[in-house]
Amino acid sequence: MSLETFKETKFYIWSSKVISFLISQWFFVLLGVFIALAHSYPQFAKQGGIIRAEYTISYGAVAIIFLISGLSMSTKQLLVNAANWRAHFTVLSMSFLITSSIIFGIASGIKASHDGQIDDWMLVGLIVTHACPTTVSSNVVMTKLADGNDILTLCEVFIGNILGAFITPALLQLYMRGTWDFGNPSHQEGGESTIQELYGETMKQLGLSVFIPLFVGQVVQNVLPDQTKWCLSYFKLGKVGSFMLLLIMFQSFSTAFAQNAFESVSHASIIFLVFFNIGIYLFFTVLTYIYSRPFWVKRWFFEEPNETSSTLYRYSYKFCRPFYYNRKDTVAVMLCGPAKTAALGVSLVSSQYGAHNPKLGIILVPLVLYQAEQVITANFLVKLMKKWIHAEDMITIDEEPTAASINSINK
């Protein structure tokens, strides 16, 4: 049989289609492979395992992601987005206060129903998960894939995780009272880490895996701009960032399997968590969109102030209109608001509840599952977000005023 004849056979045609599909979905294929490896060989990439993943992955993989970000982003835009206090307020309030309070209400309702299938410690883990700061690495990767404002995302990641060392313990003290008193970190025998130790560990991880790689990337791209662009394009460094994200998830699952976390809870609890996480992530994403583009702002401040406008309208427009974010910024906020970190989250939880706490595995199950499911769900959403961002190209430019136009009004 000749090669041309073989290519016309059904076997070749269908094999080509299957292989092309698998290549296009390489992220999910490798995710499945890494989860299977984590289940079979959890000692390899767990915290303190063979490859010392707490350093090689928690620091190394994250550092590579932010080195690539530093190589690809404008220094001027980085400074502009760092000064965007409105976006910081929106993300921080959504990430810490709104999401955690909603989850606390849902968990309290489930606990009050006395459903024996759902473990109370797993509900504690659910509250802990949503009191954690936004994720460090996946937000930047996903925002870049969606063509959103990944520079703003990087700023939110840095600020959110620095403050998370203070806010997360405070939120847990606020929520773990009354009927939840058994889950209060201060009542655990092994939870002896002070807030200074938590903050020191957070700053160490952010400094070594985020700030230094970002700074190096910025220096290199300003000193060698042409060579940097060539490297980014030739070596497909965007794909490298996605692969590093898979390694981070590999570490999280390895740690969970090594601690027998998934064996500590019932199958009903796992099934509940799997579907609940997807639903709540989508709900929080929609809620963040509404929060980022409040209809009343556009309705009340639909036109720019002019010489006939009142002083009240001019100042109200100046303050409120920027809270209606453009599409690139909205995508960044939508990906940061609902997301939760496992990289720093595991350290925060372990240090507060104690690394040898018998309930630690159960507490970490919601966090590990949520991290995986938020990445999987976001992978599907980024395609829609990208289309939505570029659909703006066909809309008149005055639909969403730019920061430059607003600044000209303020002068």
Residue 234 has pLDDT above 90, yes or no: no
Reported confidence tier of residue 195, pLDDT bands at 50, 70, 90: low
Rounded CA-CA distance 349/347 in Å is: 6
Q: How many CB atoms lie within 10 A of CB 303?
A: 10
Residue 191 has pLDDT above 60, yes or no: no
Q: What's residue 410's pLDDT?
A: 46
Query: What mean pLDDT value characterizes the chain?
Result: 85
Kindly report the CATH number assigned to the domain that includes residue 155.
Answer: 1.20.1530.20
In a domain, 76, yes or no: yes
- Say if 119 falls within a structural domain: yes
Distance CA 157, CA 137 (A): 8
Assigned token pair, 359: 């309930």
Checking if the pLDDT of 41 tops 70, the result is yes
Q: Name the residue among 88, 55, 96 with its Cα closest to residue 154.
A: 88
CA dist., res. 131 & res. 369, Å (int): 15
Look at 407 and 130; give whichever has higher pLDDT.
Answer: 130
- 337, 374 Cβ separation under 8 angstroms: no
Half-sphere exposure of 177 (CA within 13 A, CB side): 5
Least Cα distance to 292 among 329, 319, 339, 317 occurs for 329
147: helix, coil or strand?
A: coil
Tell me the pLDDT band of 43, cut-offs 50, 70 and 90.
Answer: very high
Burial (CB < 10 A; 0-12, 13-18, 19+), residue 253, is buried
Cα 122–Cα 125–Cα 126 angle in degrees, nearest 5: 90
pLDDT of residue 395: 61
More confident residue, 268 or 399: 268
In a domain, 365, yes or no: yes
Residue 31 falls inside a structural domain: no
Q: Which domain range does residue 406 map to?
A: 46-410
Res 240: pLDDT: 85
Total number of domains constituting the chain: 1
379 pLDDT exceeds 80?
A: yes
pLDDT: which is higher, 233 or 282: 282
Residue pLDDT, tens place only, 331-356: 999 999 999 987 677 777 777 777 67
Write down the pLDDT at residue 293.
94
The first and second tokens of residue 87, run together, are 């976006």
Q: How many Å apart are CA 364 and CA 148, to the nearest integer?
A: 31
| Token pair recorded at residue 22 | 């698998």
Are 369 and 273 in contact by the 8 Å Cβ rule? The answer is: yes
- CA distances for 110 relative to 40, 124, 187, angstroms: 33, 11, 23
Residue 28 lies in a domain: no
In a domain, 195, yes or no: yes
Predicted model pTM: 0.82
State CA 21 to chain mean position distance: 27
- Exposure string for 97-128, b = 16+ CB within 10 A, e = fewer: ebbbbebbebbbebeeeeeeebbbbbbbbbbb
Of 40-49, 276-285, 359-368, give the range with the top mean pLDDT: 276-285
Residue 132 belongs to a domain? yes
- Asked whether residue 245 is assigned to any structural domain, the reply reads yes
What span, in angstroms and rounded, lies between the C-alpha atoms of 129 and 368?
A: 9
Q: Model confidence over 130-146: pLDDT tens digits?
A: 999 998 778 888 999 99
Q: Do 375 and 249 touch, CB atoms closer than 8 A?
A: yes
- Residue 245, C-beta contacts closer than 8 angstroms, at least 6 positions apart: 61, 65, 137, 138, 141, 375
- Residue 378: which of 290, 250, 277 has the closest Cα? 277
